[in-house]
Amino acid sequence: MRDSQRVAGLMLILLALITGIVPSLAQDDLVTVHGSAIVAPVLEALAEAGEVEVNLAIETTGTSRGLASLCDGTVDIALASRPISIDEDANCISNDVSYGEILLGHSIVALITHPDNT
């Protein structure tokens, strides 16, 4: 139960950050997002649940391309299914792009078999 509460809390923090970005934009402005297809549905759900209308343009390009786009300054948000690498961080620094990482959860793989198949 504690882990689910922690994930819910982190999602609320992400929502607060997203809604913190949006008020500075006109309602017609677009928040561009590139990155992981695993994380995109979570961001979409958070944006829909928020009190501020968010105009997101989400493109699932994969984690590496999303982070590269963020560090190149071509997108507002990168969705990643892993932490940023040292090389990606160096790219952000060289382009004077600052960022913050927010952990939304962990990927889990479960191997399940029927008792008759053991």
Q: Work out how many domains the chain is built from and give that number.
A: 1
- Domain with residue 47: its CATH number is 3.40.190
- Structural domain boundaries enclosing 19: 2-117
Interior/surface letters 48-64, b for 16+ CB within 10 angstroms, e for the rest: eeeeeebebebebbbbe
User: In this predicted model, what pLDDT tens digit does every residue of 56-107 receive, in sequence order?
Assistant: 899 999 999 999 999 999 999 999 999 999 999 999 999 999 998 888 777 7
- Band the pLDDT of 11: cuts 50, 70, 90: low
Question: What average pLDDT does range 22-43 have in this prediction?
Answer: 78
Inter-residue contact 66 to 79 (CB < 8 Å): yes
